[in-house]
A and B are shown apart, each in its own frame.
Chain A
Amino acid sequence: MDSFRKLPADSDPTKLWVGQSIARVEDPALLTGRGHFIDDLGTRPDTLHAAILRSPHPHADVVGIDTVAARGANGVAAVLTGDDVKALTSSLVVGVKASVECWPIAVGRVRYVGEPVAVVVASDRYLAEDAVDLIDVQYRVRPSVVDPLLALAPDAPILHNGFSGNVASDRTFRYGDPERAFAEAARRIAIDIRYPRNSCTPIETYGVVAEYDAAESAFDILANFQGPFSIHAVISRALKVPGNRLRLRTPPDSGGSFGVKQGVFPYIVLISAASRLAGRPVKWIEDRLEHLTGSVSATNRVTTLAGAVAADGRIMALDWDQVEDCGAHLRAPEPATLYRMHGNLTGAYDIRHLSVRNRVVVTNKTPTGLNRGFGGPQLYFALERLVHRIAVELDLDPLDVIKRNLISSAAFPYRTASGALLDSGNYPEAVARAVEQGGLEELKNRRDTARAKGNLYGIGYAAVVEPSVSNMGYITTVLTAAERSRAGPKNGAQATATVALDPVGCVTVHVASVPQGQGHRTVLSQVVADVFGIAPTDVRVNTELDTAKDAWSIASGNYASRFAPAVAGTVKLAAERLAARLSRVAASQLNTDPDDLVFVGGVVRSKRNPDNRLAFARLAALGHWSPGSLPEDVGQTLRETVFWTPPQLTAPDEQDRVNSSLCHGFIFDFCGVEIDRTTLTTRIDRYVTMHDCGTILHPAMVDGQIRGGFAQALGAALYEEYAYAPDGSFLTGTFADYLLPTAVELPDPIILHIQTPSPFTHLGSKGVGEGNCMSTPVCIANAVADALGAMHVELPLAPARFSEMIRGTEIAAPGNSSASAAKTGRADRRLRGEGSASVSAAPDKVWAMLLNPATLKAAIPGCRHVERIDDSRFRADVTIGIGPVKGRYRAEVTLSEPDPPRAVTIGGRAEGALGFGEGEGRITLAPNDRGGTTVRYVYDAAIGGKIATIGGRLLDGAARVVVGEFFAGLARHAGGSARPSHRPPARLIARIWSLFGTPR
């Protein structure tokens, strides 16, 4: 890729810096391990460290929290529970009008696995975690719901009384005349899709350092928060301080965010409350287990999308039915994921008729928030799958269907049916160039060759309009017009920039852009260098934000890919305004007109007479040293701060039309995939992505953004899912189970560019960071659908999911095998098993043992204490170990359906630091021919909590070990065989076979 251009030493001084891939100023520090990430910065000597106890249950009442032992533990300064936090703070703002509260910690009830339940603050993190282990919480478990459609059912468990059932919002929208379009259309073609949960998981986690100044009733907080700073108001309101008593600062470096670090704000409130209670600064660095369970996730969504389609594939209308799952709390800014794309519901297509139903539901899962793509992945998965389906149904080439519907190049600026104003674009040209430069014809030949060999090969397409620079008012589309007029207008997207000159004539720039690796400091130095005719190395840019001292607005921050279009343009404006004033000063010094002057090569000189010149540095310093010599009406030339808000970002109108974003880029992707017939893995044979992001400021960085977005999108397509069991247990709690693609899994995309500058931004640039998150998952899904001739394709494309589709019904088990296919493939994830043990005591003796606490205690390994509550109930304190994993559990066991001495049902619940379990088993005792007993058991269990989150893959086997140990202990105690058998073990068979050498 020839984007990496080096600058020759004697470069042309009139050549612009913008558009070149100069070396990044951020790199030397980062490459030598001298970054300033939040955990690298020193803290005050009296700073305490926080650890958080989190809920193992998806839904439960908190009956009691015993913190006595924790509070007395070594090094502990304070322990907070929900009641403490509630006393110090107000509820977080909820995105819709409902009498629902949202706290950063559970108050009386937990609603998702990972929800904070208590906070320990101690002299170091190790001691804090020790104390967390000493907190004893009593839960009363409630039924839970994790599927959004099940959450809509009338008998679903209800999470919040203030919503209508579990529906936080139900809005319909109508644009044009969709009913007529559907009535007149040749076909109605619809699809149902489910988009899974995933998250961008930056490698650096959340960090907060909070300090409360009791004397001034003010908070000083350092956090790797990424914006938008509208959240500042949410935080100050929650902490019950006026805005000017909440100082929020960001560290110089942030290790990636991708939207996720917007979601640190509840923890800002929580840790600030802890600081206030403890009377000392408190620091919290999130660990990875916490991050996967309790930070944010993108929404999962269920969508039915129908198109009114003409015979030639023209789409006349769309009918959207979206059910958006925002997790357990509707936390700000949700339901923004749904409404961010509201203006783009017709994608890249010229469709004038639209009907929409948007329902937002809550479920017992982690609350959702910003994630790269933010609503785009979910929307385009439906839209582009529909386009593919239309092609299949009408027997057309999918690319033809796309081309037939694309907005024409003459139509820009184009107002979509739902209100977005698409600034510029040439979609057909972009597609044509991609097809040619990306080699689509050749790819089709590859497909045909592969298929001729009997291989599973497919080609997929996606056309996507990528919005950037969000309209801060788009979220109010969720309200009705009447509600909006009561609430007051919300619109715009203010960017701020300050350009300043110092006494020796050097330039500094400050922006409220909070980068997390996007090279803002470098790009802005290029922009300003071009204006002043100096080198980028002469411009120093600071991107740290301090709300107490810097210029900022609610729109400040780095999200919605706003840097290039909004922030960079604002910087240029500020520099230009300053340059204009400097021009007038120079003109008077050089005795010419400002129009005659040019800033180039470090000087300001006359065009007519190049020798008539002034060094830029000297001119710049004049404002400091000799303000009196400046012309009277010029004003100061020391600094310029600009607040820029684009006029196109107006509030939603009375018809619910909203220009949800300022700029719209275009992406057209196509790819070829092959599915291996043995492993069923999907291999990307070629991936071509064409981007129009307007004016390119730094080619290498733009390609970097595309590669990074593509990588995360490939993860979403093939590997990543935040998986929950139907009972609400969270199953992907470590990086061993939440699978990020590595260098081996990631193919190299072919990246192509076309540039149609935006007329709405000062530099003509648009955002580029999120596009592939919107296009790549559905492009790959379409290719897989093409390869398999499949109607339904679900992400992630785990190979096992293709078994039935590709191979049909499985070969049956051999006739004399006790195993069967039916036993497996359980959707409910309950653990089931059976086995038997041989005990050398008669059945009635064994029966007596089962009912005798003393015998049970002696028989069960690790049992410390068994107490009989009544004839059929026992309480036990047991230590259960599987390999190195050992935990102590409080268990309650109930005997029921007794049929002495033949059979009994044992039911139990166990709870401990590592998790909880519940199950039921039927035990039958039958006399054997040696005067002893054959004990048979069948059990059905579920395990949740930490051990399920971390070791989900091993749970089945773990349960077998635990149950096996119980019967082994029983047998040993009664003098029977030391080891029970769980059905004839495979190794026993192997031994027999190896003796006889015969297969079955």
Chain B
Amino acid sequence: MKPAPFDYVRAETIDEALATLANEGGEARIIAGGQSLMAMLNMRLAKPKTVVDIMRLKNLDRIEEKAGVVVVGAAVRQASLMGWPALPERLPLIALALPWTGHVQTRSRGTICGSIAHADPSAEMPLALIALGGEVHLRSARSRRRIAARDFFTGMMTTERADDELIEAVSFPVTPGRHCAFREVARRHGDFAIVACAAVATRDGVRLAVGGVADAPVARDWPRLDGSALDDALNAFAYDLDARDDIHATARYRRDLVRLIGRDLVREVCL
């Protein structure tokens, strides 16, 4: 399991990285933490001609709070965000979700933005981004733009990111004092989620986001529901996610978890 040949570019400025992407289009891939990409390279599922390493770009290594959002740069490792002292208070949902993301040994290298760019349907960070209504900051040699999380994930491991763009940062709205809850069911600790649910209290009610079921994480916004109204909403949501069977779980099992865990989390957040 050895990768196919590629050129390695160690970008010293972001413009260098962007120029490479502009020139090479879909044949170049960004490598950040490498925890997702390297496995694909080793298995020869991906064979880019060029790999662009952005981890030496200091200005991408920042966690900053400004104007009501926390901006996490592309080079910020999952372990760094997990160790950010303000995390439990400013982004409590992420503080709940990160311990479920991989293992200590992969969080030490893997990045937040890398997980979002990879867009695995069972991954925790894309789910958190959707649940919090965050944004993805894309940048190419020509332009910069921001996309809302719900528009960013377009399908199974497919995103709005164009071939010549990289994710410069992601931003999560800060909602201090808002209740949130997270729960994940996986076969083993640290595995891909079979179902992961995140609930966040919103101004008018609650948002429930579900990962691991549809091709990408999906969120619903509801007013404060309870009783049979909540059960009906959860049931409709469960079926609309179009769950499938796979070797680890059945569609029905996933729907049951959406209904059961969804209800627990919504109730917890609405209290």
A–B contact via C-beta, under 8 angstroms:
yes
Q: Residues of A at under 8 Å CB distance from B? A: 125-126, 129-130, 133, 287-289, 678-680, 719, 721, 723, 731-732, 734, 736-737, 739, 741-742, 744-745, 798-800, 803-804, 807, 810-811, 813-814, 817, 819-821, 824-826, 829, 881-887, 913-914, 946-947, 950-954, 956-958, 960-961, 964, 979, 983, 986-987, 989-991, 993-994, 997, 999-1000
| B185 touches A (CB below 8 Å) | yes
Residues of B within 8 A of A799 (CB): 249, 253
Q: How far is the CA of A914 from the CA of B43 in the complex (A)?
A: 10
Residues of A within 8 A of B83 (CB): none
Q: How far is the CA of A126 from the CA of B4 in the complex (A)?
A: 8
The answer to whether B155 and A990 have CB atoms under 8 Å apart is no
Which of B9-17, B91-99, B219-227 has 4 or more CB atoms under 8 Å from chain A? B219-227
CB of B58, distance to nearest CB on chain A (Å):
26
| B244 touches A (CB below 8 Å) | yes
CB of B33, distance to nearest CB on chain A (Å):
14
Residues of B within 8 A of A723 (CB): 247
The answer to whether B189 and A957 have CB atoms under 8 Å apart is no
Residues of A within 8 A of B255 (CB): 810
| B179 touches A (CB below 8 Å) | no
Q: How far is the CA of A317 from the CA of B161 in the complex (A)?
A: 69
Residues of B within 8 A of A719 (CB): 187-188
The answer to whether B185 and A679 have CB atoms under 8 Å apart is yes
Q: In the complex, which residue of chain B has the Cβ closest to the Cβ of A725?
A: B247
Residues of A within 8 A of B4 (CB): 129-130, 133
| B243 touches A (CB below 8 Å) | yes
The answer to whether A989 and B191 have CB atoms under 8 Å apart is no
The answer to whether A884 and B48 have CB atoms under 8 Å apart is yes
Most A Cβ at <10 Å: residue of B26, B156, B221? B156
Q: List 16 A-B contacts (CB under 8 A).
A: A129-B1, A289-B1, A731-B247, A803-B253, A824-B243, A824-B250, A824-B251, A885-B157, A886-B26, A954-B157, A956-B246, A957-B215, A961-B155, A987-B218, A993-B221, A1000-B236
Q: How far is the CA of A957 from the CA of B157 in the complex (A)?
A: 9
Given A737-B247, A821-B252, A882-B158, A813:B239 Cβ within 8 A: yes
CB of A381, distance to nearest CB on chain B (Å):
21
Given A947-B45, A957-B121, A678:B189 Cβ within 8 A: no
The answer to whether B221 and A990 have CB atoms under 8 Å apart is yes
CB of B145, distance to nearest CB on chain A (Å):
17
Residues of A within 8 A of B2 (CB): 125-126, 129
Q: How far is the CA of A983 from the CA of B215 in the complex (A)?
A: 13
Given A739-B187, A803-B252, A961-B155, A678:B232 Cβ within 8 A: no
Residues of B within 8 A of A680 (CB): 253
B29-61 vs A: 1/0 string, CB under 8 Å? 100000001001001111110000000000000
The answer to whether B247 and A736 have CB atoms under 8 Å apart is no
The answer to whether A950 and B45 have CB atoms under 8 Å apart is yes
Given A824-B244, A914-B45, A953-B192, A961:B156 Cβ within 8 A: yes
The answer to whether B260 and A678 have CB atoms under 8 Å apart is yes
| B87 touches A (CB below 8 Å) | no
The answer to whether A991 and B150 have CB atoms under 8 Å apart is yes
Q: How far is the CA of A130 from the CA of B150 in the complex (A)?
A: 40
Q: In the complex, which residue of chain A has the Cβ closest to the Cβ of B130?
A: A987
Query: Residue A986 contacts which of B118, B120, B218, B247 (CB distance < 8 angstroms)?
Result: B218
Residues of B within 8 A of A811 (CB): 235, 259
Number of interface residues of B (CB under 8 A): 72
Q: How far is the CA of A737 from the CA of B191 in the complex (A)?
A: 9
The answer to whether A736 and B192 have CB atoms under 8 Å apart is yes
The answer to whether A960 and B223 have CB atoms under 8 Å apart is no
Q: How far is the CA of A999 from the CA of B157 in the complex (A)?
A: 28
The answer to whether A979 and B189 have CB atoms under 8 Å apart is no
Q: How far is the CA of A133 from the CA of B189 in the complex (A)?
A: 35
CB of A684, distance to nearest CB on chain B (Å):
14
Q: In the complex, which residue of chain A has the Cβ closest to the Cβ of B253?
A: A800
Query: Residue A825 contacts which of B46, B220, B239, B251 (CB distance < 8 angstroms)?
Result: B251
Q: How far is the CA of A40 from the CA of B251 in the complex (A)?
A: 46
The answer to whether A814 and B235 have CB atoms under 8 Å apart is yes
CB of A804, distance to nearest CB on chain B (Å):
8
| B89 touches A (CB below 8 Å) | no
Q: Residues of B at under 8 Å CB distance from A? A: 1-5, 26, 29, 37, 40, 43-48, 118-122, 150-151, 154-158, 185, 187-192, 204-205, 214-215, 218-223, 225, 229, 232-233, 235-236, 239-253, 255-257, 259-261, 264
Identify 18 new A-B residue pairs, CB closer than 8 A, beyond the known A824-B243, A884-B46, A913-B44: A129-B44, A731-B247, A739-B187, A742-B190, A798-B248, A800-B250, A803-B250, A814-B236, A821-B239, A825-B245, A951-B45, A961-B155, A961-B157, A983-B242, A987-B151, A990-B219, A999-B232, A999-B236
Given A680-B253, A736-B191, A987-B150, A953:B222 Cβ within 8 A: no
The answer to whether A999 and B185 have CB atoms under 8 Å apart is no
CB of A729, distance to nearest CB on chain B (Å):
11
CB of B67, distance to nearest CB on chain A (Å):
23
The answer to whether A997 and B204 have CB atoms under 8 Å apart is yes
Residues of A within 8 A of B251 (CB): 821, 824-825
Residues of A within 8 A of B240 (CB): 817, 819, 986, 989
Q: How far is the CA of A742 from the CA of B104 in the complex (A)?
A: 14
The answer to whether B220 and A882 have CB atoms under 8 Å apart is no
The answer to whether B155 and A964 have CB atoms under 8 Å apart is yes
The answer to whether A997 and B46 have CB atoms under 8 Å apart is no
Residues of A within 8 A of B158 (CB): 882-883, 961
Q: How far is the CA of A687 from the CA of B187 in the complex (A)?
A: 21
CB of B132, distance to nearest CB on chain A (Å):
14
Given A810-B252, A999-B225, A954:B156 Cβ within 8 A: yes
Residues of B within 8 A of A736 (CB): 191-192
Q: How far is the CA of A799 from the CA of B254 in the complex (A)?
A: 11
The answer to whether B261 and A678 have CB atoms under 8 Å apart is yes
Residues of B within 8 A of A990 (CB): 150, 218-221
Residues of A within 8 A of B191 (CB): 736, 739
CB of B250, distance to nearest CB on chain A (Å):
4
Q: How far is the CA of A489 from the CA of B29 in the complex (A)?
A: 64
Given A800-B248, A814-B239, A952-B246, A741:B156 Cβ within 8 A: no
Residues of B within 8 A of A819 (CB): 239-240, 242
The answer to whether B189 and A744 have CB atoms under 8 Å apart is yes
Q: How far is the CA of A167 from the CA of B219 in the complex (A)?
A: 53
Residues of A within 8 A of B122 (CB): 953
Query: Residue B156 contacts which of A957, A979, A994 (CB distance < 8 angstroms)?
Result: A957
Q: How far is the CA of A109 from the CA of B148 in the complex (A)?
A: 52
Residues of B within 8 A of A994 (CB): 220-221
CB of B77, distance to nearest CB on chain A (Å):
20
CB of A263, distance to nearest CB on chain B (Å):
20
Most B Cβ at <10 Å: residue of A883, A913, A979, A997? A883
CB of A725, distance to nearest CB on chain B (Å):
9
Q: How far is the CA of A268 from the CA of B205 in the complex (A)?
A: 66
Q: How far is the CA of A394 from the CA of B161 in the complex (A)?
A: 65
Q: How far is the CA of A953 from the CA of B254 in the complex (A)?
A: 14
The answer to whether A741 and B188 have CB atoms under 8 Å apart is yes
Q: How far is the CA of A993 from the CA of B219 in the complex (A)?
A: 10
Given A129-B44, A881-B26, A999:B229 Cβ within 8 A: yes
